[in-house]
Structure formats: structure tokens, C-alpha cells
Amino acid sequence: MHEYLLTPGPVEMPREVYMATQKQIIGHRTKEFSDLFIEIEKKLSFLLKVDTPSVILPSSGTGALECLAVNFLCKGDKFISASCGVFGDRFRTIAEKTGATGIYLDFQPGEEISPNAVAMAVSNNPDVKCLLLTHNETSTGVVNPIKEIIRAIPEDKRPIILVDCVSSVGAMEMYPALWGIDAIATASQKGLLSPPGLGIVWLSEKAWKYVENNTCDSYYFDLKLQKKYLKKNNFANPYTPPVTLYYALNAALDVILKDGIDEWFKAHKLYATALAEGIKALGLELLVKKAEFRSPGVTAIKSSNYDTEAIRATLNTMGIVTAGGQADMKGKLIRIAHYDDKRFPELSIVLSCIFASLPNKKDITTNFMAEPLKILTSEE
């Protein structure tokens, strides 16, 4: 039986990516590796619309977040953290470990971070050094209005803006330089369709200047050291990199960029919209009520009528592997990821398996027949 891995990371690798992982290892101090590294950087820069390279760390997304925290925050510093779920909370916990003090803004599960609330907090706390945000809150399936949040803060009053993009890069627009972000952290195993194990960090010019004049309390995550190894035409890693994952990431970026980045993002939105409509037609609820904040990468299903854990268990027996809720939402959600949108036919498999796993289908069938199906366009 084929297993459909629909967890929001790791995700099933496209065939080209899987094939790339089968290559023989090469030495990481060779020109061949440096060329591979440069090729990846060019593609990443294209994806992010930036013109400076990213730092690639052998770590998961949490490591990339810690890398930002230790390079930007020290004991006694102040930061603002806006969170609408588990991963926003995690970012602030990582930041607290530096000895910095946080000012916290919290939003309910399924709701997005409010630009006005963030702007107000920044205005009331002119001494904060950093603002911590999460682009795609994977625990609830909310995509936060990062561009609008930053725009709501006057340019000369902006703290250093650090954004967790672990579950957004590759699946939706994330243009840090164009949006005024100072640093992002992401990882290989979600929108970037690669195996887990690579953390990626990008910094603005302003952020690099800040880092150059700051002492970092980490040996491994010291960005000043990492930068020294990104020399023109000779890119390397200070420590032994997982070469196989670089092959995989390079192949995955080819898959993502092949038909044009706008097409790729549009297809993700269409897939997410179609899934959302199907879920509603089955009589289930979506956790995120406002369609514009629903993630193109992960959808959270809620139900007051059904035991979502029982549905997930049945789906498992059918080969559909989903994720459940986390923290306060534990036992209350089914989370389905759709990072590889090239598999539209799978949508009907997923929806029919959900239908088949519901204990009482009579009411749904009636609902379904009564409601005319909405026509979807790729603009929705």
C-alpha cells in the first residue's frame, strides 16, 4: 500500500529529489561541492528575490531559529514576540534562553497576528531590540500578514525583524528584502520538499552590519564565522555539511522553479482552496475562518461532531498519514499538508478517504446534495 505522508513536514520527496539523494558523496572541500553550493544559493536567492546568499546550516528549523536568537539577542535585551500558536511560542522560548526579556502578544488558535496590535506594542516599547514573528503558523494553518505587519510600523521605528519562515519558504511568497524583514529562518523538509536536516538563514544588509558588531555566544551558530566561508566563487561550510542533503535541496529547487515561481505559488493556493471547499462539503469545519489567512501549505480541520483522533486513526489504516493538534489543540484537529501541489489527483483520494473514515455519513450526504458546488477559479 502506498503511504501518503501528509504531515506538515517532513513531506514526501518528489521523485527527482529522492533520486538526487542516491548520489555518491563528494568531499566538502572540493570545487565540485563549492559549485553545488553556489548553484543552490543562486536558486534560493531567486526564490526569495534577494541578491545576497543565505547561510545553510546542518540543523532542523529549530536550530535555524536558535541561530537567529543567539546572533541578535543578549542578556538584558528586550524583544517583542507576537504568537498565534505553538511555533510562535517556541521562537519566544528560544529567544528567552539568551537572557533577553520578552513582551508577548498572543492571538487565539486559528487567528492571525494583528498588524495594529504589533505596531502599538512597538510604539509603546521603543527600547526593544527585536520583533519576533512567524510567517506560517503550522500548528493552526494560519499564514500571517507579515508585509502588512511591517508596513504598520514606521520605518525609522522598526526594531530588527526576525521571522520564522520554517513552513512557508517554497510554498508561498516570502520576499524578505522587499518586505523589510531583517532575517528569516527556514528548513529543508517542508516547502523546500527535501529531507529534514538543513536549516537556512538569510539576513538583510542592516542585519549583517548588526551581527558584525555583536558577540555571539554560540560556537556552531556564529554567523560571522559562517559568512567568512561564503567567499565569492568559493562557498563552503565551516564544519562538515550533510552533502546528500545539498544534492536533494538543489534538485528540489529545480522542481519548485521549473514552471515559474508565480505558477507554483498559484497552484498551492488553488490546491488549498479546493481542499477547504471539499472539507466544508463533507460537513467538517476549518479552524481558520478567514479564507485570506488560510495557509497554502497546511490545512487544519476541526469538528464538533466527530472525534478527530478516531478519524486520523482510520485514515492511517488507509495509508493517509496526517498530523493532529498540538498543545491546547491536542486531540482537536486533523492537519493535512500540501506542499507538493503537483499532485492534484491526490486531492480526491484525500477527500474520499476522509469521507470513508467518518462514522456517520448520512447527514453529510444530505448536506452535500443540497448545496450546489461553488465554481473555483485559480484566483481564489
User: Considering only residues 71, 167, 194, 357, which one is a binding residue for ligand PMP as defined by CB under 6 A?
Assistant: 167
88: left (phi over 0), alpha (psi -120 to 50) or beta: alpha
We find the least distance from the C-beta atom of residue 362 to ligand PMP, in angstroms, to be 37
d(CA 76, CA 61): 25
- Report the sign of the C-alpha dihedral through residues 54, 145, 302, 83, in that order: positive
We find the least distance from the C-beta atom of residue 96 to ligand PMP, in angstroms, to be 16
Nearer to ligand PMP, 130 or 351 (CB): 130
Q: Which of residues 110-139 bind ligand PMP (CB under 6 A)?
A: 134, 136, 138
We find the least distance from the C-beta atom of residue 203 to ligand PMP, in angstroms, to be 18
User: Considering only residues 143, 161, 166, 245, which one is a binding residue for ligand PMP as defined by CB under 6 A?
Assistant: 166
Residue 250 CA to its chain's centroid (Å): 18
Residue 216 CA to its chain's centroid (Å): 26
Number of residues near ligand PMP (by CB under 6 A): 12
Nearer to ligand PMP, 61 or 180 (CB): 61
We find the least distance from the C-beta atom of residue 165 to ligand PMP, in angstroms, to be 8
We find the least distance from the C-beta atom of residue 69 to ligand PMP, in angstroms, to be 12
Helix runs in the chain, H state only: 15-20, 31-48, 61-72, 86-96, 115-124, 146-151, 176-179, 205-212, 223-228, 243-257, 261-281, 308-317, 345-357, 362-370
What mask, x for binding ligand PMP by CB under 6 A, covers residues 29 to 68?
-------------------------------xxx------
164 near ligand PMP, rule: CB under 6 A: yes
87 near ligand PMP, rule: CB under 6 A: yes
Q: Which residue is at the shortest CB distance from ligand PMP? A: 61
Nearer to ligand PMP, 87 or 246 (CB): 87
In the beta sheet, which residues pair with residue 139? Answer: none
5 near ligand PMP, rule: CB under 6 A: no
Query: What does the block give as the cell for 49?
Result: 528575490
Provide φ and ψ at 77, rounded to 5°. Answer: -70, 160
83 near ligand PMP, rule: CB under 6 A: no
Q: Rounding to the nearest 10 degrees, give the CA dihedral for residues 288, 60, 224, 88.
A: 30
Selection from 258, 284, 250 nearest residue 341 by Cα: 258
Q: What is the largest CA-CA distance in the chain?
A: 66
194 near ligand PMP, rule: CB under 6 A: no
d(CA 152, CA 116): 7
- Orientation of helix 205-212 relative to helix 61-72, angle to 10°: 60
Nearer to ligand PMP, 256 or 358 (CB): 256
221 near ligand PMP, rule: CB under 6 A: no
User: Considering only residues 6, 9, 70, 283, which one is a binding residue for ligand PMP as defined by CB under 6 A?
Assistant: 9
Contacting residues toward ligand PMP, per CB under 6 A: 9, 60-62, 87, 134, 136, 138, 164, 166-167, 187
